Amino acid sequence: MRNCSDQKPRLERPSDLRPPARECTSRLAGGIALPLAPHHSPFYVAPPLALTRGCNGSHPTVSDHWSACEARHSANQRPANRLIIGLWRVAFGVATERQVGDIEHFGLWESPCGLAFFEPMLAGDEEFYLDLYRGGDFHRRLSAPGLCRAEFSRVAELVRPGEKVLDVGCGEGGLARYLPHATYVGLDLHFPPVTDGPDVRNETVPEHAASHAEQYDAVCAFHVIEHVADPLGFGRDLMQCTRRGGRLYIAVPAWGSAMTDLPNFVLNAPPHHLSWWNERALRALTDQLGLVVEEIEPTPFSSHDSIIYWMGHCAPKLTGDRYFRAHWVWYGALAWSWLVGRACNAMFRVPVSAGPSGLLLIAGKR
């Protein structure tokens, strides 16, 4: 049980996180603090989405280990699925009605351990990602020859010759180019294996873990865990594949970065991103999994995501208490950030002084 002062939560960056507002209860499920949220704070068209904390009341289950207090909504408030559907269609040309059309509303919740997540945690299916890759040009950006990603270089420094590496959510296996000295296996359901390419398999992590328990010296999941509905279960599957003495490498977008500075940035919402991570959330995850944290390192922006830096840098500062809102000022702010950010991205490099794009967790299995 934790007691909290009666104050309105204001969240602008991870260092600003404070104890939840009002009297609240912090429950534990297997050692993980369960996220809390106050009444009347859902993801609506009106009022706008706020990241909320602290409540009294019951909790809807997100998974067996990550859950939140249930907000009590008045019957006359309009759901926000129209906002999400419209943003996806206009920004990326992706139709999401099939997946989110029946959802009354989304909530954005914050756990005392630092994890923020959407409820319901509805992950995109294969059709959603195929549409997104086609419409958003992500395939070309993420598989471009010579693409330099900080997490790839860092793993290559730590993996020793002859070690076995599993890359979960690997795309076309770009990490393999950095590991000619190791045995590489990639898992991805959305990219077909290539005959003359790296060993990429269309298997889920649970399927692979069942037949390859403790077979890998290094298990990587780069920008994957924020897409899954059960982060703790996903982490356990990664652990099952890792031998004792091996390492897990988990990369996430940083919560408190240019991505969360962008108003109405639907790429950071369901059914794409289901959770937002900071260092405290990563440490809470490793505590629950029984891992030893070796490093949590900031990762810089690179060529594939530098436009997000410039968009966040140029965007009017509307986010902090709110992140999504059906209002012309917010629509205009997003359009402005896209136009000006795109021009800046074409002319300038991301400055050395820029904040991180993401975080890389390096943890050992005992």
pLDDT at 40: 28
pLDDT at 304: 84
Residues 6 or more apart whose CB falls under 8 angstroms from that of 332 comprise: none
Provide the b/e sequence for 100-129 (b: ≥16 CB within 10 Å).
beebebbbbbbbbbbbbbbbbbbbbeeebb
72: DSSP letter: P
| 289 token code pair | 């999994």
Per-residue CA distances from 34 to 53, 151, 269 (Å): 11, 29, 20
Q: Tell me, yes or no, if the pTM score tops 0.85.
A: no
pLDDT at 351: 95
The dihedral through the CA atoms of 156, 157, 162, 167 has a sign that is negative
Torsion of Cα atoms, 124 then 129 then 131 then 137, to 10°: 140
Nearest-angstrom CA–CA distance, 15 and 11: 9
Helix (H) or strand (E) holding 279: helix 279-289
As beta bridge partners, residue 298 has 359
Residue ranges and CATH numbers for the domains of the chain are: 14-120 (no CATH), 134-301+351-365 (3.40.50.150)
pLDDT at 290: 95
Nearest-angstrom CA–CA distance, 346 and 350: 11
Burial class (CB in 10 A: 0-12, 13-18, 19+), 228: buried
The dihedral through the CA atoms of 294, 292, 284, 18 has a sign that is negative
Peptide bond into 47 cis (omega under 30): yes
Residues 6 or more apart whose CB falls under 8 angstroms from that of 335 comprise: none
pLDDT at 184: 97
Nearest-angstrom CA–CA distance, 57 and 36: 10
Nearest 5°: the CA angle 191, 192, 198 is 90
Residue 219: name the closest of 187, 197, 195 by CA. 187
Per-residue pLDDT tens listing for the chain (366 residues): 334 333 333 333 333 322 233 323 222 222 233 333 332 222 222 233 444 443 333 443 334 334 333 322 222 223 368 899 999 999 998 999 988 888 878 888 888 888 999 888 889 988 888 888 776 566 555 555 455 688 999 999 999 999 999 999 988 888 999 999 999 999 998 777 777 889 999 999 999 999 999 999 999 999 999 999 999 999 999 999 999 999 999 999 999 899 989 999 999 999 999 999 999 999 999 999 999 999 999 999 988 899 999 999 999 999 887 899 999 999 999 999 999 999 999 999 999 999 999 999 999 998
